[in-house]
């Protein structure tokens, strides 16, 4: 397999312009001859569907929810970055580019990230024109906040629900195309397989989640915008239905999976309460601006926090990182919380939490000021836990939040299967080994509104696509495979539910492929994983039939794919024997126990290629070339 | 954290055409830290193991923003807590021994799919009629070209907070969608970007709303009370106003 | 001009019709109330008001026809909405919402009560060959405890109807403003209570006080 990144030549700042100039265009009258399938209707999928429809292509958009307005982009709280320099605080496209690539610990492509920074400004213009009600200053101009430790204020926001407002913008633009007939919606449809004909992605097989019908759809290109795989860990901040199935099926049809071990774990989430817990809720990390993180100095100290005197509290972040204190990056904060809990100093019923204390800030600024700043977050916390963070410290714990890995794509966002494009969190392209706050929304929209619509025409112009219908044998084969698989899941009739297996998988990954990884643990996890897979296919219980709405069957299918996928994730974590970004290999530490990157050996993208059932996948490496920036080691001491 | 036991009377219906009925289940031990949907998860796990089909219910983000969840608990959509979606309702609000009657959203426009799941696609159909600003991607003016007063932006956002869950329709004795439509109309009517299509939008969206079988607003305010995002009925008044202006003063038909 | 029909037959159009006819009926109610209040000044004053009213001649017929039309529109539209809304939610919930909005939920029922009242009221005082003065007619008719209690019941119904109706008509017409909403709500309620109690006072005084209108 050749990994050709297809980055245009020339200086970094001119690559995107050059690409757009050199690319072949499709005559407007000819665009209506092309059919495009878009899977997923979050920010990336909806924005791509809308824009492709506007350009004149015929688009079919699929989502698993009952309405395309519900993709999990909707849950993003913080905001969206753009290099507009509205605050005159020294921001620029170059700075956003640099921050993003440095934040990703130098494991992303320069050209992709620079393009993202360039497009960021247009995204804000586009969203405002659609009627997205961003926060405003009193003079009527857009407001910004600084986010995720950035030194400039470049984050645009709409209260704590920026994701929802941006998604509603993209969704409404798409609904406009639904009205014109250019976009056809297929809600409650799950992609079950990708159909590849003559080496080209030419269609998909779907399951209608209401009737259970297995349908096939042919097209000239397939676009996956199906989000990340964080739910492999069972507990995460993802939505319940978020899954890896679409990208995993594509992988099994030849698309390489890049950097699957890069999983971001967010430090400020509401801790787990019990085994029945179904998901974790993120609290904006802005809380760390005023909250102080601590645990009792003595392990096993079960006193309520208010009874622990100051001298017996360990403000471990402030002690360890005097200059950054509680504001260290996400991965550092997460790892340190885990370390404290591993030493038995964790708090709460489960011992898997640390305190985030606002008492000092309240003493300094007054309760009113703190409520004004964090009121909605405090309410959210109280709604879930029943505790008031003003009266007693919050308890927080890290949770899986975002996956930087995804299907490998080139500069055109095309995967290793020609005609298969991958957008948003589903691809690996822009965040390297760690994503900065407020950058996910930016990437999803950049891909959907601006990048894909420009690159897909070059694909159509270059490829000689023969007309294909769903009567092609490749479709029949994919339908049969899908049906066989569903039948297999239904016929096991064992004694454990899909969720039960999912929980076991989640725990295994969390323990051995979570915040800190080591060779022994990962190898152990591999062994356990194959046992789990064996148990799953022998002892699974799915009620009902396939010809009906069957949520247990839906889950079983997704869990089966997560179990298969986990193997590649662990293999990737094993092969990357360096610490970088959120991937912390215990073998690769500095003398001060900080992450140590090894640029000589690991400055590459790891792309895994499927080799067949029960075969170890092949690792391909795309070297990362840095011509415009100097690589540096992160230090927060 | 306490343990409670509940009696659950849940609406079971295999499909849109079949006849449904209530079935009574004992919840078993439930910890008060659970969310309502986690309580249903626990029940469903048990049902699966006993070979009975679990209760089908819609849910996704479980953090109160996607708008996918929602059932009627003892007569109230999303349950007894104000401004709270069902997924954010926690079991500490119930007492040991309580009986909970769990029903799907009921209205002519929302066809029942299975058990507690209903079809809310009529909302999408209404949005497709005009719930947008007709701008193509690219070529848009600078985001700061038109200043918008803070208060206006905030008011627009108050309306735009709607998550499209359908609780307003479920709560309305007339099955009216006026709060949903009012919120979208208000969001765009308040902003300068929404002005060019203001009249057309109001007429088209109301027309579609009527066609889809939603009832008439009786100004009874049940929708406002049920809304998990606290959308105000002042948005319905604005919709009435917008529609009247469009109908009598604009040239659109 | 077919657009007018389209507009008025839409869900919001029907609400306008209810609101506008309701508003006009409210003005009638107010005028009627002021007329009735003359009875507090005694029999002579009341009779003289009645004869003045009757002396308006054909003008009174025009007003009556207009009033009849208003009532018809309000009633027909009300019944149409009632039936439409029943079918918009064919399945009721097993458990009823605990906090009910009584005045709003009972609008159709209080409306029907008022319609019945209207018939009785017209039979009592309009479609009747008058042999005595208006004051005497009122006095004798309402002295019948059965009729008096029906009046009391219906007028309480009217109060409930108006307590929602007054505010509701502003809402339907889109008259809603953060600064004045409280005023509209309280004002509407106060108007309903004032109008209702004043109307109720007449049969109540007739039943309880011998000297009233004597």
DSSP assignment of A441-470 equals HHHHHIIIIIIHHHHHHHHHHH--PPP--T
- How does pLDDT run across A571-595, given as a tens digit for each residue? 999 999 999 999 999 999 998 888 9
Across the beta sheet with A58-62, the strand order is A183-186, A58-62, A35-39, A221-224, A420-422
User: Which chain B positions have a beta carbon within 8 Å of C172's beta carbon?
Assistant: 217, 219, 240
Cβ distance of B207 and C10 shorter than 8 Å: yes
| Contact flag for C and A (3+ C-beta pairs < 8 Å) | no
- Residues of chain B with pLDDT > 90, as a percent, come to 98
- Give the B window 118-157 contacts with C, CB below 8 Å: none
Active site residues of A: 330
Residue A443 pLDDT grade (very low, low, confident, very high; cuts 50, 70, 90): very high
Q: What is the pLDDT of residues A508-544, one digit of tens each?
A: 999 999 999 999 999 999 999 999 999 999 999 999 9
What number does CATH give the domain C10-87+103-208?
1.20.1300.10
Distances (CA, A) of A523 to A428, A527, A606, C137: 25, 7, 19, 103
Shortest distance, CA B244 to any CA of chain A (angstroms)? 23
User: What ranges do the domains of chain A cover?
Assistant: 36-262+404-457, 265-401, 478-597
CATH number of A265-401: 3.90.700.10
* Mean pLDDT of the C73-88 span: 96
Contact C13 B247 (CB under 8 A): yes
Chain B nearest C-alpha distance from C64 (Å): 29
For the cut 80, the answer to whether the pLDDT of residue C37 exceeds it is yes
Structure tokens that stand for A103 in this block:
């934040």
Q: Is the confidence at residue C1, as pLDDT, over 80? A: no
CA distance B185 to chain A (A): 12
Query: Which residues of chain B are within 8 Å of residue C103 when distances are taken between CB atoms?
Result: none
Measure B137 CA to nearest chain C CA, in Å. Answer: 34
* Residue A499: per-residue pLDDT: 98
Put simply, the chain C residues between 24 and 63 with a CB less than 8 A from any chain B CB are none
B15 with A548: Cβ contact below 8 A: yes
Q: To which CATH superfamily is domain B120-249 assigned?
A: Alpha-helical ferredoxin (1.10.1060.10)
For residues B229 and A391, what is the distance between their CA atoms, to the nearest angstrom? 26
Task: Note the pLDDT tens digit of each residue in C163-195.
Answer: 999 999 999 999 999 999 999 999 999 999 999
| B220 closest CB neighbour out of C6, C13, C104 | C104
pLDDT band at A390 (very low <50, low <70, confident <90, very high): very high
Give the CA distances from residue A492 to residues A207, A211, A503, in Å, rounded to whole numbers and listed in that order: 20, 22, 19
Position of tokens 């990390």?
A285
Distances (CA, A) of B239 to A173, B71, B144, B216, C174: 21, 27, 28, 13, 7
Which residue in A has a C-alpha nearest to residue B229's C-alpha?
A: A161
Which chains sit next to C, with 3 or more Cβ pairs under 8 A? B
Contact list, B210 vs chain C (CB under 8 Å):
10-11
Closest chain C CA to residue B176 = C88
pLDDT at A328 over 90: no
Q: Does the pLDDT at position A635 exceed 80?
A: no
Mutation for A interface: B34, B38, B55, B61, most A CBs within 10 A: B61
**Is pLDDT above 90 for C25?**
yes
Please give the mean pLDDT across all residues of chain A.
Answer: 95
Contact A158, B159 (CB under 8 A): no
Residues of A in contact with B154 (CB under 8 A): 133
Determine, for residues B76 and C88 on separate chains, whether the beta-carbon distance falls below 8 Å: no
> In the predicted model, is pLDDT for residue C5 greater than 90?
yes
pLDDT band at residue A633, thresholds of 50, 70 and 90?
Answer: confident
Instruction: Decide if A54 and B156 are in contact by the 8 Å CB cutoff.
Output: no
Interface probe for B, chosen from C101, C174, C184 (most Cβ of B below 10 Å), is C174
Whether the Cβ atoms of residue A7 and residue A109 lie closer than 8 Å to each other: yes
Residues of C in contact with B216 (CB under 8 A): 11, 14-15, 81, 84-85, 88
Contact between A317 and A333 under an 8 Å Cβ cutoff? The reply is yes
Work out the mean pLDDT of chain C and round it to a whole number. Answer: 94
Beta-bridge partner residues of A295 = A314
pLDDT level of residue A147 (50, 70, 90 thresholds) = confident
Give the three-class secondary structure for A393: coil
**Chain-chain contact of B237 with C176 (C-beta, under 8 angstroms):** yes
Taking only the tens place, the pLDDT of each residue in B165-222 is 999 999 999 999 999 999 999 999 999 999 999 999 999 999 999 999 999 999 999 9
Dig out the tokens for C9 from the structure.
Answer: 């037959």
Task: Tell me how far apart the alpha carbons of residues C195 and A29 are, in angstroms, rounded to a whole number.
Answer: 70
The reported pLDDT for the residue numbered A372 is 84
pLDDT at residue A376 in the model:
83
Distance from CA of A447 to the nearest CA of B (A): 12
The rounded percent of chain C whose pLDDT value lies above 70 is 100
Residues 6 or more apart in contact with residue A220 via CB below 8 angstroms: A34, A35, A36, A202, A419, A460, A465
Q: How far is A474 from chain B (nearest CA, A)?
A: 33
Q: Do A67 and B134 touch (CB under 8 A)?
A: no
Residue C130 has pLDDT above 90, yes or no: no
Name the pLDDT band for B244 (thresholds 50, 70, 90): very high
- Name the phi and psi angles at A155, rounded to 5: -100, 125
B-chain residue closest to A159, CA distance: B157
On the question of pLDDT at C73 being above 90, the answer is yes
- Given B44, B60, B191, which is nearest A240 (Cβ)? B60
Q: At residue A149, does pLDDT exceed 90?
A: no
Interhelix angle A551-575/A245-252, rounded to 10 degrees, is 60
- List the structure tokens of B4: 């409670």
Residue C97 pLDDT class (50, 70, 90 cuts): confident
A 10 A CB-CB count for B39 gives: 23
CB atoms within 10 A of CB A539: 14
Tell me if B236 and C171 make a contact (CB, 8 A cut-off): yes
Q: What is the pLDDT of residue C100?
A: 83
Q: Minimal Cα distance from C181: which residue of B?
A: B234
* A276 contacts B42? CB cut-off 8 A: yes
pLDDT band at A61 (very low <50, low <70, confident <90, very high): very high
> Strand locations in A390-543, DSSP E?
394-403, 406-407, 420-422
Q: A125 vs B60: CB contact, 8 Å cut-off?
A: no
Class of domain B3-113 (CATH, top level): alpha beta
CATH 3.40.10.10 for the A36-262+404-457 domain, yes or no: no
Do the Cβ atoms of A311 and A267 come closer than 8 Å?
no
How is residue A96 written in tokens?
């956003």
Cβ–Cβ below 8 Å for A453 and B45: no
Q: What is the distance between the alpha carbons of residues A172 and B137, in angstroms, rounded to a whole number? A: 12
Cβ separation of C97 and B103 shorter than 8 Å? no
Q: What local confidence, expressed as pLDDT, does residue A377 receive? A: 87
Q: Report residue A294 as tokens.
A: 């601590």
Which pLDDT score, from 0 to 100, does residue B228 have?
Answer: 98
B180 inside 8 A of chain C by CB: no
Say what the pLDDT of residue A450 is: 98
B41 and A276 in contact by Cβ < 8 A?
yes
Q: Is the minimum CB–CB distance between B168 and chain C shorter than 8 Å?
A: no
Domain residue spans in chain B? 3-113, 120-249
For residue C114, what pLDDT band results from cuts at 50, 70 and 90?
Answer: very high
Partners of residue B243 in chain C, C-beta under 8 Å = 10, 12
Enclosing H/E stretch for A314 = strand A313-314
> Is C81's pLDDT higher than 90?
yes
pLDDT tens digits along A104-138: 999 999 999 999 999 999 999 999 999 999 999 99
Q: Residue B214 corresponds to which tokens in the numbers above?
A: 């939603």
Q: Work out the minimum CA distance from C122 to partner chain B, whole angstroms.
A: 29
Residue A27 and residue B85: Cα distance in Å, rounded? Answer: 48
**pTM (whole model) above 0.90:** yes
> Measured between CB atoms, which of B67, B92, B147 is closest to A139?
B147
Distance from CA of B33 to the nearest CA of A (A): 7
**Mean pLDDT of all residues in C63-85:** 96
Residue A242: closest CA among A387, A115, A75, A93 = A75
**Would you call C101 and B222 a contact, using CB atoms and an 8 Å cutoff?**
yes
Which of C94, C99, C164 is closest, CB to CB, to B101?
C94
Tokens of A127: 């969203």
| Nearest residue in chain A measured CA to CA from B81 | A383
Sheet of strand B99-103, all strands in order from the earlier edge strand to the far edge: B21-26, B7-12, B99-103, B72-73, B76-77
| Residue A79 · residue A156 · CB < 8 Å | yes
Rounded to 10 deg, the angle between the A15-22 and A452-462 helix axes is 40
pLDDT digits (tens, 9 = 90+) for A548-563: 999 999 999 999 999 9
What's the mean pLDDT in C22-51?
A: 94
pLDDT tens figures, B51-98? 999 999 999 999 999 999 999 999 999 999 999 999 999 999 999 999
Q: Under a CB-based contact definition with an 8 Å cutoff, are residues B168 and B188 in contact?
A: no
Please state, as a whole number, how many other Cβ atoms lie within 10 Å of the Cβ of residue A472. 16
Pick among 3.20.20.140, 1.20.58.100, 3.40.50.720, 3.30.420.40: CATH of A478-597: 1.20.58.100
**Residue C99 pLDDT > 90, yes or no?**
no
- What would the pLDDT profile of A330-360 be if each residue is shown by its tens digit? 888 999 999 999 999 999 988 999 999 999 9
Chains with at least 3 CB pairs less than 8 angstroms from chain B: A, C
* H helix or E strand, kind and range, residue B156: helix B150-160
Identity of the residue in B103, B239, B253 whose CB atom sits nearest the CB atom of C3: B253
Which residues 24-63 of B are in CB contact (within 8 Å) with C? none
Measured distance CA(A239)–CA(A406) in Å, rounded = 18
Q: Give the CA count within 13 Å in the CB-facing half-sphere of C4.
A: 2
pLDDT at A256 over 80: yes
Across the interface, whether the CB atoms of A67 and B58 are under 8 A apart is answered no
């Amino acid at each position: 397999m050749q990994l050709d990144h297809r980055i245009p030549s020339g200086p970094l700042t001119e690559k995107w312009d050059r690409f757009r100039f050199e690319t072949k265009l499709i005559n407007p009258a000819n665009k209506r001859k092309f059919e495009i399938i878009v899977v997923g209707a979050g920010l990336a999928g909806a924005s791509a569907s809308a824009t492709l429809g506007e350009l004149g292509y015929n688009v079919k958009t699929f989502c698993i929810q009952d309405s395309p307005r519900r993709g999990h982009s909707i849950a993003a709280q913080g905001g969206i970055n753009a290099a507009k320099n509205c605050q005159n605080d020294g921001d620029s496209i170059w700075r956003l580019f640099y921050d993003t690539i440095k934040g990703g610990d130098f494991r992303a492509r320069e050209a992709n990230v620079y393009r993202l920074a360039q497009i960021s400004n247009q995204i804000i213009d586009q969203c405002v024109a659609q009627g997205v009600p961003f926060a405003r200053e009193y003079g009527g101009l857009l407001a910004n906040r600084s986010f995720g430790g950035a030194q400039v204020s470049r984050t645009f926001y709409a209260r704590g629900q920026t994701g929802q407002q941006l998604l509603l913008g993209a969704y409404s633009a798409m609904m406009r195309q639904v009205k014109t007939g250019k976009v056809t919606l297929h809600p409650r449809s799950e992609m079950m397989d990708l159909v590849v004909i003559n080496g080209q992605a030419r269609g998909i097989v779907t399951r209608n989640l209401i009737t259970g019908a297995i349908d096939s759809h042919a097209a000239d290109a397939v676009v996956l915008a199906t989000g990340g795989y964080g739910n492999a860990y069972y507990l995460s901040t993802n939505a319940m239905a978020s899954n890896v199935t679409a990208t995993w099926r594509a992988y099994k049809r030849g698309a390489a999976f890049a950097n699957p071990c890069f999983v971001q774990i967010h430090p400020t989430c509401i801790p787990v309460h019990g085994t029945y817990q179904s998901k974790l809720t993120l609290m904006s990390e802005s809380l760390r601006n005023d909250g102080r993180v601590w645990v009792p100095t003595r392990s096993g100290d079960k006193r309520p926090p208010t009874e622990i005197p100051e001298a017996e509290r360990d403000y471990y972040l402030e002690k360890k990182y005097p200059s950054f204190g509680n504001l260290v990056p996400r991965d550092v904060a997460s790892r340190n919380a885990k370390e404290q809990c591993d030493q038995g100093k964790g708090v709460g019923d489960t011992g898997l939490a640390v305190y985030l204390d606002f008492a000092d800030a309240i003493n300094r600024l007054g309760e009113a000021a703190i409520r004004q700043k964090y009121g909605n977050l405090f309410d959210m916390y109280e709604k879930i836990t029943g505790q008031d963070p003003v009266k007693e410290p919050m308890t927080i714990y890290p949770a899986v939040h975002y996956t930087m890995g995804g299907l490998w794509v080139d500069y055109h966002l095309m995967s290793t299967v020609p005609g298969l494009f991958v957008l948003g969190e589903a691809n690996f392209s822009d965040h390297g080994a760690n994503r900065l706050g407020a950058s996910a929304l930016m990437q999803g929209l950049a891909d959907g509104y601006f990048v894909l619509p420009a690159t897909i025409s070059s694909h159509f112009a270059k490829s000689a696509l023969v007309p294909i219908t769903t009567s092609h044998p490749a479709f029949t084969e994919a339908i049969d495979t899908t049906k066989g698989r569903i039948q297999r899941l239904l016929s096991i009739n064992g004694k454990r539910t899909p969720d039960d297996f999912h929980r076991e998988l989640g725990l295994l990954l969390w323990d051995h492929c979570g915040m800190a990884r080591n060779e022994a643990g990962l190898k152990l996890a591999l062994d356990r994983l194959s046992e789990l897979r064996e148990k799953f296919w022998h002892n699974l219980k799915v009620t009902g039939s396939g010809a009906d709405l069957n949520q247990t069957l839906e889950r079983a299918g997704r869990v089966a794919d997560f179990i298969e996928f986990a193997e590649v994730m662990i293999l990737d974590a094993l092969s990357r024997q360096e610490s970088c970004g959120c991937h912390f290999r215990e073998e690769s530490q500095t003398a001060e126990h900080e992450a140590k990157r090894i640029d000589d050996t690991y400055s590459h993208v790891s792309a895994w290629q499927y080799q067949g059932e029960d075969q170890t996948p092949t690792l391909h490496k795309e070297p990362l070339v840095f011509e415009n920036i100097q690589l540096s080691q992160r230090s927060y001491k | 954290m306490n343990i409670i036991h509940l009696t659950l009377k849940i609406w079971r219906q295999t499909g849109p055409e079949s006849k449904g009925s209530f079935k009574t289940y004992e919840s078993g031990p439930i910890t008060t830290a659970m969310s309502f949907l986690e309580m249903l998860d626990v029940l469903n796990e048990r049902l699966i193991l006993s070979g009975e089909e679990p209760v089908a219910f819609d849910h996704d983000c479980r953090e109160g923003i996607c708008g996918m969840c929602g059932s009627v608990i003892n007569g109230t959509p999303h349950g007894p807590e104000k401004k709270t979606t069902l997924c954010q309702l926690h079991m500490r609000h119930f007492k040991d021994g309580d009986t909970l009657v769990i029903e799907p959203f009921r209205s002519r426009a929302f066809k029942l799919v299975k058990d507690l799941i209903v079809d809310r696609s009529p909302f999408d159909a209404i949005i497709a009629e005009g719930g947008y600003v007709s701008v193509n991607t690219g070529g848009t003016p600078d985001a700061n070209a038109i200043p918008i007063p803070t208060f206006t932006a905030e008011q627009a956002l108050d309306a735009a907070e709607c998550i499209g869950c359908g609780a307003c329709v479920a709560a309305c004795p007339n099955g009216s969608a006026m709060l949903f439509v009012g919120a979208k109309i208000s969001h765009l009517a308040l902003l300068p970007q929404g002005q060019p299509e203001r009249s057309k939008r109001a007429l088209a969206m109301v027309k579609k709303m009527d066609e889809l079988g939603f009832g008439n607003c009786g100004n009874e305010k049940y929708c406002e009370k049920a809304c998990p995002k606290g959308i105000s009925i002042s948005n319905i008044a604005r919709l009435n106003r917008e529609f009247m202006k469009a109908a009598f003063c604009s040239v659109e038909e | 001009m077919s657009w007018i029909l389209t507009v008025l037959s839409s869900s919001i159009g029907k609400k306008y019709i209810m609101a506008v006819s309701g508003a006009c009926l409210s003005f009638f109610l107010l005028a009627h109330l002021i007329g009735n209040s003359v009875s507090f000044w005694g029999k002579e004053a009341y009779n003289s008001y009645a004869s003045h009213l009757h002396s308006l001649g054909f003008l009174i017929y025009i007003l009556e026809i207009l009033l009849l039309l208003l009532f018809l529109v309000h009633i027909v539209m009300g019944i149409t909405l009632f039936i439409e809304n029943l079918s918009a939610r064919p399945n009721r919930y097993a458990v009823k919402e605990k906090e009910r909005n009584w005045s709003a939920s009972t609008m159709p029922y209080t409306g029907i009560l008022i319609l019945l009242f209207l018939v009785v009221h017209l039979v009592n005082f309009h479609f009747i060959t008058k042999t005595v003065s208006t004051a005497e007619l009122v006095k004798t008719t309402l002295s019948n405890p059965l009729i008096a209690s029906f009046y009391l019941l219906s007028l309480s119904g009217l109060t409930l109807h108006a307590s929602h109706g007054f505010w509701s008509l502003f809402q339907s017409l889109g008259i809603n403003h953060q600064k004045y909403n409280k005023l509209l709500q309280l004002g509407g309620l106060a108007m309903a209570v004032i109008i209702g109690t004043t109307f109720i006072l007449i049969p109540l005084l007739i039943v309880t006080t011998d000297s009233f209108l004597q």
